[in-house]
Amino acid sequence: MIRPVVATAMMLVSMAAAPVALAQDTRTPRAPDTDETVTVTRGARLNVNNFAGEVVIRTWDRDELHVVARHSSRSKVAIRNTPATVSVSSSSSSGVASVDYEITAPAWMPVKVDGTYNFVNIDGARAEVSATTVRGDIVVKGGTGFVTARSIEGEVMVEAARGRINVASVNERIRITGSSGDIVAETTNGDISLTDVEATSVEAGTVNGNLTFQGSVNSGRYRFTTHNGNITLNVPETASATFSVRTYQGSFRTNLPLKGASPADARRGRRVTFTLGSGSAEVELETFNGTIRIQRPGTTQSRSQGRDREAAGGSHRE
């Protein structure tokens, strides 16, 4: 049983600690070191050059650019506003500047972000987007026309983009969702995932990684290649495509009513062709060492090959 004196002391200590804990939980962001709004000319482009830090860009419908930045007192942010370009950059008396930006730009404004150690997040752009960094993830939501996102040591995620989408990483994965147009996605050590995609052409390649696609395939050209990894295409039975499958040390599986030869023929690099529907789209699937699957959306892979099993002979149904 706790003595009343001890209980009272514990209560008093707790009451004293509560405000401190509350203050810590609120996590009030530090006041910005730069907070500036400039009126921009319609048609101008935004260029952000940041050596290191975070660049977050949101959009609104005003013809104004609002720049909020947090940086050390030795760094300075410069905004250069011309009718053609609005440039946001920084300098530091210590050599390199590390700045965290929160920028609100007009939705119509094309955006370009360059840097070396940057985490980039661009949301709501309705124009061209370009983001490149060496180390850091890139997240782009939106973008039309040319949408480019490149990182070496970072994940790249693109969502709801329309147009020519060109994304690349070297050491991390790529995810593209809810997007449409022509898509090029490349990485070396990482998976590539394309989900809810309506593409007229796809070129997706990795060396060590899996490729996953889920979307409509009714016309156009699609190419998926990997060296060490599986390729999984989730397409509805109503799709119309001609699939060319090649694997050297792997296998081919399907649970769709594909017309063609036996999946067992897909070995040692032989090209085996299957057709779904009228075969309008051209789809190439190649892996040196991995399994190629063409399956209905929602298919789950089971190790016992219960639901998703390799078809034999001329029949490809489950």
Partner 1 sequence: MNLPKGSSMDAYTDRLSEYLDDEDLDSLDRARIEDHLDTCSACRAVLAELRDVSARAGTLTDGAPAADLWPGVVARIATIPIGRPAARRISFTVPQLVAASLALMLLTGVMVWVARIGGTRVDIEPMAAAPGGDPRFTPAVEIADFADVSFDAAIADLEKALAAGRDTLDPQTVRVLEENLRAIDRAIDQSRQALIDDPANLFLNTHLAAARQRKLALLRSATALATKG
The least distance separating partner 1 from the CB of residue 265, rounded to whole angstroms, comes to 6
Q: Which of residues 96-115 bind partner 1 (CB under 8 A)?
A: none
Closest to partner 1 by CB, 225 or 295:
225
Decide: is 270 part of the binding site for partner 1 (CB under 8 A): yes
Could you tell me the smallest distance in angstroms from the CB atom of residue 167 to partner 1?
14
Nearest to partner 1 of 220, 279 (CB atom): 279
| Residue 177 bridge partners (DSSP) | 159, 195
Phi, psi of 21, rounded to the nearest 5 degrees: -60, -40
Closest CB to partner 1 among 27 and 268?
268
CA 273 – CA 292 distance, rounded (Å): 13
> For residues 102 and 172, which CB has a smaller minimum distance to partner 1 in the complex?
172
Distance CA 132, CA 112 (A): 8
Closest by CA position to 190, among listed 179, 176, 200? 176
Q: Does 189 bind partner 1 (CB under 8 A)?
A: yes
- Considering only residues 108 through 147, tell me which ones interact with partner 1, judged by CB under 8 A: 134-135
- Kindly give, in sequence order, each residue whose CB lies less than 8 Å from that of residue 137, ignoring residues fewer than 6 positions away: 119, 120, 151, 154, 155, 156, 157, 172
- Tokens 């050209």 map to which residue? 221
Helices (H), the chain: 4-26
The C-alpha atoms of residue 229 and residue 286 are separated, in whole angstroms, by 10
Give the shortest CB-293-to-partner 1 separation in angstroms. 19
Residues 280-309: x/- map of binding to partner 1 (CB under 8 A)?
------x-xx--------------------
Nearest CB to partner 1, comparing residues 114 and 198? 114
Residue of the chain from 227, 236, 240, 301 that contacts partner 1 (CB under 8 A)? 227
Is residue 190 within 8 Å of residue 171, measured between CB atoms?
Answer: yes
- Cα separation, 115 vs 168, in Å, equals 15
Q: Is 271 in the site for partner 1 (CB under 8 A)?
A: yes
End-to-end CA distance of the chain: 68
Contact with partner 1 (CB under 8 A): which of 81, 104, 273, 301?
273
Q: Token pair for residue 299?
A: 């298919």
**196 vs 181: CA distance, rounded Å:** 12
Say whether residue 310 binds partner 1 (CB under 8 A). no
Task: Pick from 56, 79, 160, 170 the residue near partner 1 by CB under 8 A.
Answer: 170
Q: How far is the CB of 235 from partner 1 (least distance, A)?
A: 20
Count the residues of the shown chain that bind partner 1, applying the rule CB under 8 A: 29
Closest by alpha carbon to 210, among 230, 239, 236? 230
- Positions touching partner 1 (CB under 8 A) are 134-135, 152-153, 170-171, 188-189, 205, 207-208, 225, 227-228, 246, 248, 260-261, 265, 268-273, 279, 286, 288-289
